[in-house]
A and B are shown apart, each in its own frame.
Chain A
Amino acid sequence: MDNDKTEAMYQVEKLIQIMRENSTKKVHIETKDWKISIEQNENSQMEIVKAALSSEDSSKDNASGQNRNDLHIVTTPLVGTFYRASSPEQEPYVEIGDVVEIGQVLCLVEAMKVMNEIHSDIEGVVTKIVAANGDMVEYGQPLFEIKPQDSNDEA
C-alpha cells in the first residue's frame, strides 16, 4: 500500500511540474484507482484541493463501513474440526494478508476421519481468520474474511 502511495505522489509531483510549465491554474484528473484536483492559490502555490480513491464516495464518509460490506465471508459447508494446515508440522494454507485465488485450498474440515478441503470461491486478500485451529465448526459458521481483489486497495 505504501509503495502505491509513493507512486501516486510521484505522479502528482510530475503533474504539478507540467501545470507550472504550461501556466495551468486548475486541473482535475481521474484514473481507475484515484482522483485528484489541483489548483494554483493566491500565493501562486499549487494546492491539492481534493484527493480520493476512485472506489470511495467523494464525501469519504463511512469508508470503513463500506469496506466491511465488501468483505466476502467463507463459511463451512459441513460440521467438523477446523484445521489451518494439512498436518501439525506443515505451514498453514493461508495467513492474513495472503492473496488467494478461486479454488485455492484455505483449510481442512475433518468429518468422520475424512479431511475435506475448503476452497476459496473468490479472488482476494485474506483479512481475517475467524475460526481457531482445532475448533469444532458448525454448518454455516464463518471461517475466513476475504477482501475481493477488484474492490480497490492498490491505490
Chain B
Amino acid sequence: MKHSIRRILIANRGEIALRVLRACKEMQIESVLVYSEADADSLPVKYADISVCIGPANPSLSYLNFSQIITVATLMEVDAIHPGYGFLSENATFATICQDYGLLFIGPTPDSLIHCSNKAHVRSIAKSAHVPILPGTEKPLQDIQDALRAAESIGYPLLLKASMGGGGRGIRRVDSKQQLMDNFPIVQRESFASFGSDEIYMEKLLLHPRHIEVQIFGDGKGNVIHLGTRECSIQRKHQKIIEESPTCGLPKEKESLLVKAAVCLGEKLQYKNAGTCEFITDSEGNFYFLEMNTRIQVEHPVTEETTGIDIVKMQIQVAQTDALPLLQSEIHQSGWAMEFRIVAENPETFVPCAGKIDFVHFPAGRGVRVDSHVYSGYVVPSSYDSLLAKMIIHGSNRQEVLTIAKRALQEFTIQGVQTNIPLLLKVLEHPEYQKGTINTSFLEQHIL
C-alpha cells in the first residue's frame, strides 16, 4: 500500500531531530517539530517549518507526552511521525495510538516492538531461527530455587538481566552461588523500579567480548536486507563512544555468517523498517545474539558513509511504500568509517555537564562529517543527555580513517563546557586500538 507523506512530525530533540529534519527538507517533506521549553533556542526549532512547544523540560511532560504529541500531529494534519531514538521510539503503545489516529509511525509495527522489548522472548525467537545465543534460560526465572538450578547447568560467571531492560540498566554480574542468592532479589527490585516488571533471566557471561551489530531493513512481509556490520566495542559503562563500520574484529567468512544470522532473525520477526541486531563475539570469532534495537541508532552514520545510503530517507521510503527500495545485490560497502561521540562531561569524573557553549568550531576537510545541534552561544540544558556532536570520518581504509580522525579531533574546538575530546584522542593514539585489538573492556584495561 502506498501512503502519501507530505508532512512529518518529529518527536525528538537535539542532533537526531536535526538529522531527520534535514532528510525531510531534502525530500521536500514539510516538518513539524515538537519541543520543550528547555529547547526553545535549539537549532531544530529554528529550522523546522513549524515548531510547537508542548511542555516543560521534564520529558514525561513533553517528549514522552503522548497526548500532546498526538494533538499537535492531528491539528497540524501531519501524515507521519518520526520518533528518532530514545523517548518514544520503541514504545509499542505510542505506535498503536499513532495507528489509531491514522498517523504513520516511521518504525516497526507495534507487534514487533512488543516482541523485541522482551529480551528473554526475543532470545527464544532467535534460537528458533537458528541464530546462536549464549547459554542461558529460555523462560523467565520463577524464584531463587529456579535460578540456582539454572546457574548449575550454565556455569558461573553469569549475568542476571531484566527481561524488559535496556540502556545498560538492570544487569548484574554474578560469580558464585552466594552472589546469586544476594543479587537475585536486588535485580528483581531494580528491574521493577526501572522497567515496571520484575521478570528476569540468566545468561552466561562472556568475558571481554567485542560488540558487533548489523543494520537491517525489512518490509514487514518477511523480506529483509542488511547494510553490513558496525563495531561498537569502545564503551564506558555500556555507553558506546566510538563506532566503526565495517567491523575489524571478524574474518570475512565469519562476518558473512553474522550478517546472514541477522537477516534470518529479521525474516523470522517479519521485521519492518530499520533495526539493529546486536551480537557479542569471543576471541575465536564465535558470535551470539544479544538483542534487537527497534529504532534508528545513534551510530547509523558510519553505515551511511560506507554504503552511500541515507538511512533516515530509507526509513521514510519504507514507511511510504511498505517495500524495500533496494535489493541486497544493489548494496555495496566501500572504505571505512568511524564515529566519535563528543559529549559534555567532566574528564575526571565523567559526570555530564550542562552550561553555555561560548564558542564552537567544527573540523572540516576531506572525509569529515559533523552531525550536531550546538552552536556558539547555545546553552546545553541539564534535562537531557550530554551528546553534543557526532564526528564521522570516512576514508578508503581503517588506517586512513585513523589519520584523518586524529587531525579532525585536534581541530575540534568547544569552549565553555568540558568534553571527552581528550579521552577520544587517547583511545585513537593507543597502539592496540590502532591495531584493532579491542573489546568492550578496552577503556578500563588501557585508558582509564
Physical interaction between A and B: yes
Which residues of A approach B to under 8 Å, CB–CB?
A: 78-81, 111-112, 114, 136, 138-141
**Alpha-carbon distance A79/B37, docked complex (angstroms):** 13
Say whether B222 faces chain A, with CB atoms less than 8 Å apart: no
Say which residue of A79, A140, A141 sits within 8 Å of B71 (CB atoms): A79
Q: Which has the most chain A C-beta neighbours within 10 Å: B54, B56, B67, B71?
A: B71
B70: interface (CB < 8 Å):
yes
* A79-B72, A136-B75, A140-B37 known; A111 vs B55 contact (CB < 8 Å): no
Cβ B71 vs Cβ A80 within 8 A: yes
User: Which one of B37, B55, B70 has the greatest number of beta carbons of chain A within 10 Å?
Assistant: B55
Query: Which one of B54, B74, B75, B76 lies within 8 Å of A139 (CB-CB)?
Result: B54
Interface contact B68-A111, CB-CB below 8 Å: yes
* Number of B residues with CB within 8 Å of any CB on chain A: 15
Given A79-B52, A81-B75, A139-B55; A111-B37 close (CB under 8 Å): no
Q: Are A111 and B71 in contact (CB under 8 A)?
A: yes
CA distance in complex: A78, B75 (Å): 13
Instruction: Give bound CA distance, A111 to B52, whole Å.
Output: 14
Roughly how many angstroms separate A4 CA and B54 CA in the complex, as a whole number? 44
Q: How far is the CA of A77 from the CA of B56 in the complex (A)?
A: 9
Q: Is B53 an interface residue (CB 8 A)?
A: yes
Residues of A within 8 Å of B68, CB to CB, are 78-79, 111, 139
**How many angstroms between the C-alpha atoms of A141 and B53 in the bound complex?**
9
Q: How far is the CA of A80 from the CA of B52 in the complex (A)?
A: 11
Give chain B nearest CB distance to A136 CB in angstroms: 5
Chain B residue at smallest Cβ distance from A110 = B71
- A139 to chain B: closest CB distance in Å? 5
Taking CB atoms, residues of chain B closer than 8 Å to A111 are 67-68, 71
Q: Which residue of B lies closest to A77 (CB)?
A: B55
A140 partner residues in chain B, CB cutoff 8 A: 37, 53
Give the distance in Å from the alpha carbon of A36 to the alpha carbon of B303 in the complex: 81
Shortest Cβ distance from A132 into chain B, in angstroms?
Answer: 15
What's the nearest-Cβ distance from chain B to residue A72, in Å?
20
Which residues between 74 and 97 of chain B lie within 8 Å of chain A, taking CB atoms?
74-76
- 7 residue pairs, one from A and one from B, having the closest CB atoms: A111-B71, A138-B53, A139-B53, A138-B52, A136-B75, A112-B67, A79-B68
Closest Cβ neighbor of A81 among chain B residues:
B75
Min C-beta distance of A26 to chain B, whole Å? 57
Q: How far is the CA of A139 from the CA of B74 in the complex (A)?
A: 16
A-B pairs with beta carbons under 8 Å apart, 21 shown: A78-B55, A78-B67, A78-B68, A79-B55, A79-B72, A79-B75, A80-B75, A111-B67, A111-B68, A111-B71, A112-B67, A112-B70, A114-B67, A136-B52, A136-B76, A139-B52, A139-B53, A139-B55, A139-B68, A140-B37, A141-B53
Expressed in whole angstroms, the minimum distance between the Cβ of B258 and any Cβ of chain A is 44
